[in-house]
Amino acid sequence: MISVPSNSTVLALDVHKFSITAAVLEPGSDSPVLDRLGTDEESVRRLVSRLGAGRSISACYEAGPTGYELARHLEGLGVHCDVVAPSLIPKASGDMVKTDRRDARRLAHLLRAGQLTAVNVPSPAEEAVRDLCRARTDMVIDRVRAQHRLDKFLLRHGRVYLEGSNWTARHEQWLAAQRFDEPALRATFGHYRGALSAREAELRAIEVELGDYYAREAFASGVARLSAYRGITELGALTIASEVCDWRRFPTAGAFMSFCGLVPSEHSSGQQTWRGGITHAGNWHLRTHLVESAWVYKGQPCIGVTLQRRQRGADPELIARSWRAQLHLSKKFRRLDEKKSNRKVVVTAIARELAGFCWAEMAA
């Protein structure tokens, strides 16, 4: 929870693309003064100057699509600013009215009462690498869409590949051998293949750019330590490290699992206990990478050539921790797989525990 000094002026901001609604709550006052301003730096600077230079000001606004630039700008003006987790803002169940002014006023009162939870504000360098990792994820999604469009086009015209898995070298040879009599179909096939080739080229290019950051100072330690664990590649380790940034903000492994949205939902009251699927709350990018990494533990514990390369030069104690984690997760995967009919449930449970191992490794 965010703690605000009693003599501090509270500045709560409801931020949108073109406007900011500000609620100023002076010390000793229970009625915020509301103002509306633009989102440009000069408007924010004028607001801070009106509040008075040298005064203790505590500001906040909800995390959202506007990012962290406003928080950095306020910090540059000498104003401490917290970015608040929207999903953790207390709200009365009967409050069905929502306006910018009401939101700003409520934020001001909650900030003074210490009932808001801040999110981590990454440095500009950390945020830049995080955005590059997310851009790669978007390109992977675009490539899958291009593959589906091509596959469905071929299916509509009775062209089905029956000799193995799609998108392999043999499948590519089969695609190159396809011929259509109608000029329009030939053009359509060429456009679909061209779009897929472009997506693949873009993906290769961005992965090369991301490779330059594996050994950068801000990420080298995290990439080296996380990639020593089976299933977590250097690219996956970079993505996880850039999404988390500050591991010590999670006091326990359970808190990090919850941040990843991998803990079961629960609604229990009195004598009734109900637990459902995972919450899917928190960071989607972290959850996706952890679930993808968890699939490798369905096999027997081993240290393959790729993992040996990633562990080369690592601390022996780190390698030992990685091996213990692999033994535990592989054993648990097999045990759960025997009991559960849905393997996705098993993979999710393994991903949750893998998140705990990652937290223990990085928060130590």
Does pTM top 0.85 for this prediction? yes
Q: What does pLDDT average to over the chain?
A: 93
Q: Average pLDDT for residues 226-230, to the nearest whole number?
A: 96
Host H or E run for residue 295: none
3-state DSSP of 298-353: HCCCCCCHHHHHHHCCCCHHHHHHHHHHHHHHHHHHHHHHHHCCCHHHHHHHHHHH
| Topology of the domain comprising 9-113 | Nucleotidyltransferase; domain 5 (3.30.420)
Q: Average pLDDT for residues 80-89, to the nearest whole number?
A: 92
pLDDT at 115 over 70: yes
Over residues 188-223, the pLDDT tens digits come to: 999 999 999 999 999 999 999 999 999 988 899 999
pLDDT at 271 over 80: no
Share of the chain above pLDDT 90, in %: 84
What's the confidence (pLDDT) of residue 307?
95
Per-domain boundaries in the chain: 9-113, 124-211, 226-363
Contact predicate 231/354, CB 8 Å: yes
What's the confidence (pLDDT) of residue 265?
87
47-51, 118-122, 356-360, range with greatest mean pLDDT:
356-360
